[in-house]
Structure 1
């Protein structure tokens, strides 16, 4: 397991605990009390560290290499019921954007999300989770299919942003994202958005308009990444921690500003530390959100959705 800089005290205690247990197994020395003491200290240290995370540390956790990605959630939640669908019927199949039909219990959903890679080869294959215009057009095609067959939509957001390459701009990156935002505001089925990692810029907004927006505890949602913000304001990435704090990009900040509806709690140590619990928690959160929306008529859904987004950023003195 990989550890981040601020997790090094945990790593040291974990190694001490494993060594003490190993000594007890390989010799006749009774180290049970020592193991218990180290284990207690380990739990206390974990609680202390994760209770006081800074915005930048949460950004780091959202990018942890062991953190589950979109297909991990889909495969765990849906099992064999998931059927992946491909292509935008216009240019090609974007591997950074995945989607298809799956079930949670007896209820079918159209799942759509950005997928990152696990190593150099798969990261290149998935374009680091940065979708091209055809990815957003594929997402829109799947959403329209879901609307046709009255299937609710679940989007899983985890992207450093839409792909900024020249070829993406030539094929209409801005138009594709804007079209998705427009069409999602008037889609006649429930839309549940779950931010599972990075939620950056228009790349996230392209599949981010929903009736219910959920954010995992150690994720972020912002118009720009802390590094990019730092490089624009201070001409250097060295101020990324200050930028992360100023951007108010954490789940708590988003909830306070009423830009999301609910925070999904993660296991102590982050989603990667206990994947099974995380998958169950997310599945339950999606199920709960759908149950609150399923009895609304298409007109009520779209009206409430439009009102929700129209009221964002409105302040009264």
Structure 2
């Protein structure tokens, strides 16, 4: 298990626990009671640390290298996943994945960003930063789901849409704007869940739905703290301050009314117990779908439009 810098007290306890077990095995002394004490101490220390996390520490948690990504959740929650490829125009964007899967017998279209689980795969997946063809693929799959009257679940985890010159040349802004426009009008239930990073238009491109949910240790805002710090202070050194000022955590988003709910993670984060996190996420999706099925398509679309129209404020002069 990898530990972040602020988790050092927990890491130290784990090291002590391992040494205790090794000494017990070598000496033949029964250390069961002491082991239990250390395990409880780890739980208490972890709770204390996680009860006082700063905004930037939650950002770091959302990027934890062992945190489950989209395909991991689909594999744990679903059966018979059939991944669909390509935007039928340019190519297949590996940063955006999607396809039909069975969720306890019900067919659901899952779409989400995928970052990659090692260095090579992160390069192939472009670190979860989709090109225009990724968003066009996502829209193609959404329209396919609508055609067959199947609900859509999007899993958002991206540091942003790919900002390269070639992406702009192929219409990155138009692709994201088109997705937002079309998602508002989808006649099937749409659930959007931020499972890690939810940055800028990269998140919004698959983030318009009937219910917007966030995992406890995810974040959602217009720009990453590092880039915000670079723009405002000409340095990355103020990223912690930027994170606080951006109000980007799940607690902030819930208080502002920008998301409909926060999904609790296992103590220590989703990466500590991915199986438990998948069970929680699956039940949340099933409950939310059951709620949305009771609403007719026209009403769902009206509520969707009203939801996003109420966000923010403006002044007409």
TM-score by length of 1: 0.97
User: After the TM superposition, which residues 250-265 of structure 1 pair with which residues of structure 2 at under 5 Å, given as runs?
Assistant: 250-265=249-264
Deviations 1:234-286 (A, max 9, x none): 10000000100100000000000000001000000100000110000000111
Rounded to whole Å, the distance in 1 between the matches of 2:256 and 2:169 is 35
User: After the TM superposition, which residues 142-157 of structure 1 pair with which residues of structure 2 at under 5 Å, given as runs?
Assistant: 142-157=141-156
Rounded to whole Å, the distance in 2 between the matches of 1:311 and 1:53 is 30
Rounded to whole Å, the distance in 2 between the matches of 1:36 and 1:121 is 40
Shift, 1:43, TM fit: 1.6
1:127 has 2:126 as partner: yes
The aligned residue for residue 189 of structure 2 is 190
The aligned residue for residue 71 of structure 2 is 71
The aligned residue for residue 6 of structure 2 is 6
Rounded to whole Å, the distance in 2 between the matches of 1:230 and 1:85 is 38
Rounded to whole Å, the distance in 1 between the matches of 2:189 and 2:140 is 16
User: After the TM superposition, which residues 53-92 of structure 1 pair with which residues of structure 2 at under 5 Å, given as runs?
Assistant: 53-79=53-79, 81-92=80-91
User: After the TM superposition, which residues 206-217 of structure 1 pair with which residues of structure 2 at under 5 Å, given as runs?
Assistant: 206-217=205-216
SS in 2 for 1:102: strand
User: After the TM superposition, which residues 239-250 of structure 1 pair with which residues of structure 2 at under 5 Å, given as runs?
Assistant: 239-250=238-249
Rounded to whole Å, the distance in 2 between the matches of 1:211 and 1:31 is 53
4+ aligned runs moved over 3 Å, structure 1: none
SS in 1 for 2:271: helix
SS in 2 for 1:193: strand
Deviations 1:193-230 (A, max 9, x none): 01000000000000000100110000000000000000
Rounded to whole Å, the distance in 1 between the matches of 2:217 and 2:9 is 19
The aligned residue for residue 96 of structure 1 is 95
Shift, 1:315, TM fit: 8.8
1:270 has 2:269 as partner: yes
Shift, 1:180, TM fit: 0.2
Structure 1: any 5+ residue segments left out of the alignment? none
TM-score by length of 2: 0.97
SS in 2 for 1:273: coil
1:202 has 2:201 as partner: yes
Rounded to whole Å, the distance in 1 between the matches of 2:141 and 2:55 is 34
1:161 has 2:160 as partner: yes
Task: Tell me how many residue pairs correspond in the alignment.
Answer: 315
Shift, 1:32, TM fit: 3.2
SS in 1 for 2:22: helix
Deviations 1:97-154 (A, max 9, x none): 0000011112111100000011111011001100000000000000001111100100
Rounded to whole Å, the distance in 1 between the matches of 2:45 and 2:314 is 41
Rounded to whole Å, the distance in 2 between the matches of 1:40 and 1:274 is 17
The aligned residue for residue 43 of structure 2 is 43
Structure 2: any 5+ residue segments left out of the alignment? none
SS in 1 for 2:78: helix
Shift, 1:31, TM fit: 2.8
Shift, 1:23, TM fit: 1.3
- Aligned Cα root-mean-square deviation (Å): 1.2
Rounded to whole Å, the distance in 2 between the matches of 1:192 and 1:37 is 42
Shift, 1:301, TM fit: 1.1
